[in-house]
Structure 1
Amino acid sequence: MAKQLSLFAVTSRSPEGLRYAAEFISPATERDLIEHVAALPLQPFQFGQYEGKRRVASFGFRYDYTLRHLQEADPIPPWLTQLIERVEGLGGPGTKIAQVLCTEYDTGVGIGWHRDKPHFDRIFGLSLGSPCKFRFRRAVSEKWERFALDVAPRSIYMMAGASRQDWEHSIPAVEAPRYSITFRTMVKRT
Structure 2
Amino acid sequence: MTGDLFGLPPLPGLSSCEALVSAAEERLLIAAIDATELAPFRFQGWEGKRLTRSFGHSYDFDRGRLEVGDPMPDWLLPYRERMAGFAGLPAADFVQALLIRYDPGAGIGWHRDRPAFEHVLGLSLGAPAVMRFRRRMAAKFERVAVPLPPRGAYHLTGEARHGWEHSIAAMAETRWSITFRSLASPIGRPANADAPDGNMI
Same fold? TM cut 0.5: yes
Deviation at 1:153, TM superposition (A): 0.3
The equivalent position to 1:141 in structure 2, one of 138, 142, 150, is 138
Matched, 1:22 2:22: no
Q: How does 1:139-178 map to 2 (within 5 A)?
A: 139-178=136-175
- Measured in 1, the distance between the counterparts of 2:72 and 2:52 equals 14
Secondary structure, counterpart of 1:14 in structure 2 = coil
Contact persistence 1:10–1:19 (CA under 8 A): no
Root-mean-square deviation (Å): 1.4
- Measured in 2, the distance between the counterparts of 1:169 and 1:94 equals 25
Deviation at 1:108, TM superposition (A): 1.6
**Residue matched to 2:50:** 54
Deviation at 1:9, TM superposition (A): 3.6
The equivalent position to 1:80 in structure 2, one of 76, 97, 102, is 76
**Residue matched to 2:28:** 32
- Measured in 1, the distance between the counterparts of 2:149 and 2:86 equals 18
Contact persistence 2:109–2:167 (CA under 8 A): yes
After TM superposition, the structure 1 stretch with the greater mean CA deviation from structure 2, 76-85 or 87-96, is 87-96
- Measured in 2, the distance between the counterparts of 1:123 and 1:63 equals 14
Matched, 1:111 2:103: no
Q: 1:179 to 1:65 in 2, by over 3 A?
A: same
Secondary structure, counterpart of 1:180 in structure 2 = strand
Deviation at 1:81, TM superposition (A): 1.1
Contact persistence 1:30–1:154 (CA under 8 A): yes
Contact persistence 1:10–1:20 (CA under 8 A): no
Deviation at 1:80, TM superposition (A): 0.7
- Measured in 2, the distance between the counterparts of 1:32 and 1:185 equals 25
Q: 1:189 to 1:147 in 2, by over 3 A?
A: same
Letter in 2 for 1:181: I
Compute the TM-score of the two structures, normalised by the length of structure 1.
0.92
Deviation at 1:10, TM superposition (A): 5.2
**Share of identical aligned residues, percent?**
42
Q: Kindly tell me the number of residue pairs found equivalent between the two proteins.
A: 183
Contact persistence 1:10–1:18 (CA under 8 A): no
List runs of 5+ in structure 1 lacking aligned partners.
1-7
- Measured in 2, the distance between the counterparts of 1:13 and 1:146 equals 14
List runs of 5+ in structure 2 lacking aligned partners.
188-201
**Residue matched to 1:43:** 39
Letter in 1 for 2:177: S
Structure 1 runs (4+) deviating above 6 angstroms are none
- Measured in 2, the distance between the counterparts of 1:157 and 1:71 equals 25
